[in-house]
């Protein structure tokens, strides 16, 4: 990796601001290749840095899986309402993470937060048709005709939806829907067009990424190396 400024590298990890890095350097707490850093502007390889004796553990991008609860906005900031960024610990909030796509305020489930702009772009691009799977509870049962209508592609006024998959088990008011796009309120509007109301909605999968069943509502975790590898590999194609 190309050499970068110490203050930029350390601050990008979200724990210290650039100003704090300056102070750490003055106090001799930052070492580069084992010798005290000369200045906060010094250019270096991130692998050479230690802060208070600990390796920086630099990662360029951060990937977080959040189990979004209802009542929280899929946004980075809002003057009045709680956003998904507010659910993160303060150091993580400084890493420039943003949600990849939006879930409605009352929708729960899988939301990926990252600062990897190119990956987010590919995940959201209509060209890639990344499939998203949702669990929906409805105010009444669906049937074969609904399944066929979803498979043909529902028409919502001007909008012709892509074919979607609708399945259910024992209970035809609790269904799974797989979409290959993400229009505003899409699932709610698709069911509305079939005379049904969505009472509860949860996203359980986005492309190769499945919501961790151990992740309770409102909690998050970093993606595993394997999850990141598969995600990056899939989105390269």
Smallest separation (angstroms) from ligand URA to the CB of 87: 17
Minimum distance of ligand URA from residue 103's CB (angstroms): 4
Is 146 a catalytic site residue?
Answer: no
Q: How far is the CA of 102 from the CAs of 1, 98, 111, 151, in angstroms?
A: 33, 10, 8, 24
107 lies in the binding site for ligand URA (CB under 6 A): yes
Work out how close the CB of 52 gets to ligand URA at its nearest, in angstroms, rounded to a whole number. 43
Nearer to ligand URA by Cβ, of 190 and 235: the residue is: 190
Encoded one letter per residue, x for contact with ligand URA by CB under 6 A and - for no contact, window 167-186 reads ------------------xx
Buried b (16+ CB within 10 A) or exposed e, 67-76: bbbbebbbbe
Burial label, 203 (beta-carbon count in 10 A; 0-12, 13-18, 19+): buried
187 binds ligand URA (CB under 6 A): yes
State the number of binding residues for ligand URA (CB under 6 A).
8
| Cα gap 60→13, rounded to integer Å | 8
Taking CB under 6 A as the criterion, which residues in 192-231 touch ligand URA?
A: 201
With CB under 6 A as the contact rule, which of the stretches 12-20, 34-42, 100-108, 150-158 interacts with ligand URA? 100-108
Between β-strands 98-99 and 108-114, what pairing exists: parallel, antiparallel or unpaired? antiparallel
Distance CA 63, CA 92 (A): 11
| 202 within 8 A of 217, measured Cβ to Cβ | no
Residues 26-55 that bind ligand URA (CB under 6 A): none
- β-bridge partners, 174: 137
Q: Tell which one of 188, 194, 217, 234 touches ligand URA (CB under 6 A).
A: 188
Minimum separation from the CB atom of position 226 to ligand URA (A): 26
Residues paired with residue 220 on neighbouring β-strands, in sequence order: 66
Catalytic residues: 104
Binding residues (CB under 6 A) for ligand URA: these are 103-104, 107, 185-188, 201
């Amino acid at each position: 990796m190309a050499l970068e400024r110490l203050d930029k590298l350390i601050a990008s990890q979200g724990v210290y601001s650039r100003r704090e890095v300056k102070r750490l350097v003055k106090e001799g707490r930052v070492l580069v290749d084992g010798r005290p850093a000369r200045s906060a502007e010094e250019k270096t390889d991130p692998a050479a840095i230690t802060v208070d004796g600990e390796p920086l553990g630099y990662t360029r991008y951060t990937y977080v899986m959040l189990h979004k609860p209802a009542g929280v906005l899929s946004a980075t900031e809002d003057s009045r309402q709680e956003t998904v960024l507010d659910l993160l610990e303060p150091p993580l909030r400084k890493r420039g993470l943003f949600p990849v796509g939006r879930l409605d305020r009352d929708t729960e489930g899988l939301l990926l937060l990252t600062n990897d702009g190119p990956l987010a772009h590919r995940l959201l691009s209509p060209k890639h048709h990344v499939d998203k799977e949702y669990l929906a509870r409805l105010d009444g049962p669906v049937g074969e005709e609904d399944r066929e209508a979803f498979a043909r592609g529902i028409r919502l006024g001007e909008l012709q939806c892509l074919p979607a998959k609708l399945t259910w088990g024992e209970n035809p008011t609790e269904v799974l829907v797989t979409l290959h796009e993400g229009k505003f309120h899409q699932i709610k509007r698709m069911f509305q067009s079939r005379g049904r109301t969505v009472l509860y909605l949860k996203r359980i999968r986005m492309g190769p990424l499945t919501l961790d069943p151990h992740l309770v509502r409102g909690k998050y975790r970093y993606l595993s190396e394997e999850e990141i590898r598969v995600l990056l590999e899939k989105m390269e194609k």
